[in-house]
């Protein structure tokens, strides 16, 4: 998985990870997302990155967010225009198991 920030790790996995020392494997851990085995390669202290280091990530995240908002607004305008009819029976027939 690579390096993970502690606030991005599910609580159950974090509690198990804290028990490990680098190089050791955990027992099998069951969560709502499945089964996991952890290995701590290294513990690294948290660090603050400069704006120059993160600016590309921020721009990319903002672009995705703005695109999502534009798509949602576009779809809502179409639905509100009354030119679209949604047939529930047809839509449910498209669902494939």
**Whether 71 and 36 share a structural domain:** no
Answer yes or no: is pLDDT of 69 > 90.
Answer: yes
Q: 22 versus 3: which is more confidently predicted?
A: 22
Q: Which domain covers residue 64, as residue numbers? A: 51-93
pLDDT-based confidence at residue 35 (cuts at 50, 70, 90): very high
CA angle 79, 84, 88 (to 5 degrees): 95
Q: What is the pTM of this model?
A: 0.44
At 44 the pLDDT is 80
- Whether 32 and 59 map to the same domain: the answer is no
21 and 56 assigned to the same domain: no
Query: What value does the mean pLDDT take over residues 68-75?
Result: 93
How confident is the model over 19-32, as pLDDT tens digits?
999 988 999 999 88
| 1, 43: one domain | yes
42 and 2, same domain (yes or no): yes
Closest CA to 6 of 57, 32, 38, 45: 45
């Amino acid at each position: 998985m690579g390096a993970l920030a502690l606030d991005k790790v599910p609580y159950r996995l974090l509690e198990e990870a804290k028990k490990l020392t680098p190089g050791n494997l955990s027992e099998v851990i069951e969560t709502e997302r499945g089964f996991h085995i952890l290995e701590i390669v290294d513990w690294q202290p948290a660090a603050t990155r400069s704006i120059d280091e993160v600016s590309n990530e921020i721009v990319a995240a903002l672009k995705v967010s703005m695109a999502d908002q534009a798509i949602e607004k576009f779809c809502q305008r179409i639905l509100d225009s009354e030119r679209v009819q949604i047939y529930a029976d047809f839509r449910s027939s498209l669902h494939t198991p």
